[in-house]
Structure 1
Amino acid sequence: MSPAPDAQPAAPLPGQNWQHSTELADLEATEAYAQQLAAQLQPGDLLVLTGGLGAGKTTFTKALGKALGVEGQVSSPTFVLSRIHRNREDTSPDLVHVDTYRTDAEGLESLDLAAHLAESVVVIEWGRALVEEALLGTGGSWLDLELQTPELENPETQGDDDAETPMGVSRPSTGAEIQTDFSESEEDILGTPRLAVLRGYGPRWESDPQISFA
């Protein structure tokens, strides 16, 4: 499956080097996309993962972890904020899976993610505009992956409209009802098409890895 050239959402953050959009028809396509992206990743890489509730973020991260060869069940880390999945191979990166849905800059600092970044691939859900500079400083490199479905046109505005983070990104307030990606079932995702919008930032991702399907 080739990228969809007519679907090019505006960049949510300044400084992107490139972006491309790929249509994912179903669960299998989402998993195949994760496998191809995993082949491009190395220790020290940060992937900021955005998408509305039920957009397939956890399904994508499960497939990414499997492709990286990490141990343990990859699931939504909403209630524990982060999980570290060790790699079975000493020469391959661990996977650090983080959900910042209900935290802020102070909560992010308490996770001490910088201590794990050098030897891991770090995937952060709901982290856009919150984690990039905090973890990498200015001039850092990261990938921004947004999973869109027809029902979730603006994934960062799910939740409480009055809860604003820096950069104007709407996030749920601490009093909002807890919603997670545990509702992401195979039945929900199998027949649901989605659009994967991948963006590259910083010198590490100066060139587009050109992920596509035969």
Structure 2
Amino acid sequence: MTTALDVIDAGPEHAEAIVDIIHRSFGARPTLDPPTTALDETVESVAEALGAAGGLLVERRGEPMGALIFDESRPGALGLRRVAVDPDLQSRGVASAMVGVAEDTAEERGKDGIWLRVREELPDTVQFWTRRRYHPLGRVEPFLELGKTLWVAREVPTPEAMRDLAAKVAELVRHGDLLVLTGDLGSGKTTFTQGLGEAMRVRGPITSPTFVLARSHPSLVDGPDLVHVDAYRLGSAEEVDDLDLDASADKSVTVVEWGAGVAEQLSDSWMSVRIEVRGVRPIDPLGTAIDDGEMADADEAEPRVVTIKPNGPRWVGVPLRSTVLS
């Protein structure tokens, strides 16, 4: 029977246990050039670091198994240092548990993302982080620096609030960006796109492109154009390719409604926007479910929950949470 792991918020009082894990973990790694400085850590240095920003300690049945130290030296981001697992207790989900709690901690502290440094000579370590969607930020010899932008979910009660949310996203987009919108009929995908286009100041009107599949809205202010795509009737990624969106991608922000599973292949980075209706779909005065892709303008429209998830290296370091939640 597996006993659950306990992930503890660590302070200076945990320094002795954590420095022991650091020494055991880093001491078991292959010899590196230059050698790791982790083995120079002392109870005093670890206690000082924990006192400044805190950390995590993983235990099972009171036995220390893993640890990390937080770093708050960068505005808007939470750093992870000395990520360590006891070498005799590997492959038990310790590192994954720490990463999950670390990401929750970053969210609770109002951070936009996480960064850390790993040695390129340790491919298993690099792979561990890349599988969790951490992307390279650059190199600080002898380290590869990785980062991840946290996703955000927000309740949107009205069509006006949906447009306001999209206007905040518009502050972050630039030429070449891809947004993939997902949601039921009538959830507000077109309303979101309208708010995005208005804030980007492109030529309108923006309506659902269901029958023409794609519409281009040129910028009125020398910014990126908006290409609005409806993939509802497209059955495969190959059919998306037939739209020849690559020809305009570099100078545009491309928004693909119903794009999940077919549009992501257009870029190595994209922003996923999922819109979910709380309760039943809005009903118009004639008793018909609203299914034209736009939110109801009536007061009784059900609130939406919009989940925005950045994917790929383009979005690393982007202040998504602080912008969208402001």
Given the two structures, how large is their TM-score scaled by the length of structure 1? 0.73
CA contact (8 A) 1:100 1:126 kept: yes
Give, as a single letter, the amino acid of the residue that structure 1 aligns with 2:324: S
Q: Note the C-alpha offset of 1:106.
A: 2.9
Q: Distance in 1 between matches of 2:269 and 2:280?
A: 27
Matches within 5 A, 1:73-84: 73-84=205-216
Matches within 5 A, 1:110-149: 110-133=242-265, 135-136=266-267, 140-149=268-277
Over 3 Å counting, the alpha-carbon distance change for 1:152 and 1:128 in structure 2 is farther
Q: Secondary structure at the match of 2:324?
A: coil
- Greater gyration radius: 2
Q: Distance in 2 between matches of 1:116 and 1:107?
A: 17
Name stretches of at least 5 consecutive residues in structure 1 with no aligned partner: 6-13, 154-178
Q: Higher helix share goes to which structure?
A: 2
Matches within 5 A, 1:11-160: 15=133, 17=148, 18-90=150-222, 92-103=223-234, 104-133=236-265, 135-136=266-267, 140-151=268-279
Matched, 1:205 2:315: yes
Q: Note the C-alpha offset of 1:105.
A: 2.4
Q: Distance in 1 between matches of 2:231 and 2:280?
A: 19
Q: Distance in 2 between matches of 1:27 and 1:54?
A: 11
Over 3 Å counting, the alpha-carbon distance change for 1:129 and 1:182 in structure 2 is closer
Given the two structures, how large is their TM-score scaled by the length of structure 2? 0.49
Q: Higher strand share goes to which structure?
A: 2
Higher relative CO (Cα under 8 Å, sequence separation at least 6) belongs to: 1
Q: Distance in 1 between matches of 2:271 and 2:197?
A: 16
Over 3 Å counting, the alpha-carbon distance change for 1:180 and 1:192 in structure 2 is closer
RMSD: 2.5
Instruction: Kindly tell me the number of residue pairs found equivalent between the two proteins.
Output: 172
Q: Distance in 1 between matches of 2:133 and 2:158?
A: 31
CA contact (8 A) 1:52 1:152 kept: no
Name stretches of at least 5 consecutive residues in structure 2 with no aligned partner: 1-106, 109-131, 135-147, 282-289
